[in-house]
Structures are given as C-alpha cells and as structure tokens.
Structure 1
Amino acid sequence: MYATRDDLIVRFGESEIANLEAMQTQPDAVNEALQDATEEIDGYVAVKYALPLPSIPTTLKRVACNIARYRLYFQRPTEEVEKRYESELEYLKSLAAGKAVLNIQNEQNEVVEEKPRRNPKSIPIGTSYTGGVFSDEQLNKMPSV
C-alpha cells in the first residue's frame, strides 16, 4: 500500500479519521479504503511504470491519502474532499499520459532517473521493434524512397 492509517492521521488529523471510522459499518474500513486507493493508483501508474515500484514516492502517498479519504466519505464528501479527489485523478491521468513523471528515490534518498516503460505503439519508425502494424509482406509492396 502507498499509505497507512498513520499517514491519514498526519495529513487530516486524529479527530477527522476517528469521525470517518465511526461512520463506517466495517471495522477495517480505513485499510480497505487505502487498499482501494492503492489499486486505483496502480491502474494509472502501470501504464508507464513497471510495478512494483522500487520505492514509493511521497507524491503517491499524498494521492493515496486523498483518494482513501474520499472513499471513506461514503455518504456525501465535502466540496474540499471531492475537489482533492478530482485533482488527484487528473494527476494520475497525466502520469499515465506521460505528461508527468514520478520522482523515485534510491536507498541513499537520491532521485533516480526512472525511465517509464515504453509502449510499443509509441516506438518510432526505424527501431528494432518487429511487432508493427504492417507485415513485411505489406511493407515490401510499398515504393522505396
């Protein structure tokens, strides 16, 4: 998981998390919301990065906390909670589209250049990729330049 109950408490306060827990019908609702948030994040991150990530960026911890908080407001989230959730979804969409990058750190707390996983559809012509749209037979029919 990208975040824990303690991370929620640090971000939103003990009283808010206690109130959210009191509204739940299941005893382990906070952990379930955090797990749901992790799976939702993975759905976007896996488009560009190989999972599991070597380390968890603090950005994803923030995203997980905001998504889990939104999920815990199962009846009616406040406007602020809903806006944070929508903002995090926009960030995840931009991450999946390659418009944003994750700063993944190594054991020495240094940002490593984490290369996104390449999508075969986006590999330029002239590379060694052989699984293209056109077969060799089709390409041989085309006039040469």
Structure 2
Amino acid sequence: MPYATQADLVSRFGEQELIDQTDRINGAVVDAAVVARELAYAGAVIDAYLASRYALPLPDPVPDLLVGLCCDLARYALYTDAAPETVRDRYKDAVARLRDIAAGAIKLDLATPSVASSGLVQIDTGARLFSRENR
C-alpha cells in the first residue's frame, strides 16, 4: 500500500534534493522509477511493523503520521552513499515511532479495529473427540 507519493516527498524535502538523489547522470529531473521503488520499500517496512497490530491494508485515508514516516524512510533509502546526519536522524526517529506503533504505545486513529489489541493468542480447539462421556 502506498503511504506516500512523490509529491509528498517534493513538498517535504524539495524537488532539487530528489533530483540530486535520483538522476545521477544528468542531474536534471527526478527519476520517478527510483522514487517509486524507494516509496514501495518504505511502505513494505511500515507494513511489517503494522501487521502485528492492524489489519492490512489500512483503510483510506492514510494517517498523516504514516505519510511522514514513509517519506523519512524513503528519503534515507534514496541516499546510496552517505546520508547527511539530519536525514539519518529522521530515519532513526521514524523507525522508533514504528516500533512504538507496533508495541501499542502509539495508536493510529483508524475506523477498523486492531488485529491483536491484547497481544495474546486465543486458540479454539473445538469439541473433544474422546472423553469420559464420549468413548
């Protein structure tokens, strides 16, 4: 599920940064395929954290918190060499927030109920096949 778009990245970090990180040959335009690949990867990371607590895919609209986290994850992934310290810090903060969401410390405001609100597993074994009453 796409949590953010190229337009979200441009509005947060500017078009020039995307050009610098995606068009390594000419440095003239944003390579939409590279951006789409990194946004998909960031979405997969988010899904991995959310799957234990929420039914996926999430209903629309995507919470603003997840849009921002997706942008921070994708931005970090766009830096193939050495990401600046601020980019790295935002990435680490995004991962920490995703861990908090998975642990239940941060709750997303969604219309659908969560998958595992108590964190406990419930097993239904059905009727017993053999018992004193049923031999």
**Separation of aligned partners in 2, 1:80 and 1:120:** 36
Structure 2 unpaired stretches of 5+: 26-30, 129-135
1:72-114 per-residue CA deviation (whole Å, 9 max, x = no partner) reads 001100000000000000000011111111123xxxxxxx4x4
| 1:95 counterpart = 2:93 | no
SS of structure 2 residue aligned to 1:118: coil
From 104, 120, 123, the equivalent of 1:122 is 120
**Aligned-residue offset at 1:119:** 6.1
1:118-139 per-residue CA deviation (whole Å, 9 max, x = no partner) reads 267526xxxxx4449xxx9xxx
Identify if the C-alpha distance between structure 1 residues 121 and 81 changes in structure 2 by more than 3 Å, giving closer, same or farther.
closer
Residue type matched to 1:10 in 2? S
Identify if the C-alpha distance between structure 1 residues 130 and 69 changes in structure 2 by more than 3 Å, giving closer, same or farther.
closer
**Separation of aligned partners in 2, 1:37 and 1:5:** 12
**Aligned-residue offset at 1:23:** 3.2
Q: Which residue does 1:84 correspond to in 2? A: 90
Q: Does 1 or 2 have the higher relative contact order (CA < 8 Å, sep 6+)?
A: 2
Residue type matched to 1:103 in 2? D
8 Å Cα contact 2:38/2:74 also seen in 1: yes
Identity of aligned residues (%): 34
Show the 5 A alignment for 1:94-113.
Answer: 94-104=100-110, 112=111
Identify if the C-alpha distance between structure 1 residues 119 and 57 changes in structure 2 by more than 3 Å, giving closer, same or farther.
closer
**Separation of aligned partners in 1, 2:54 and 2:43:** 15
**Separation of aligned partners in 2, 1:122 and 1:11:** 39
- Runs (4+) off by over 3 Å: 129-132
SS of structure 1 residue aligned to 2:59: coil
**Separation of aligned partners in 2, 1:131 and 1:87:** 39
Q: Which residue does 1:50 correspond to in 2? A: 55
SS of structure 1 residue aligned to 2:23: helix
What is the number of equivalent residue pairs in this alignment? Answer: 118
8 Å Cα contact 2:52/2:116 also seen in 1: no
SS of structure 1 residue aligned to 2:48: helix
TM-score w.r.t. length of structure 2: 0.78
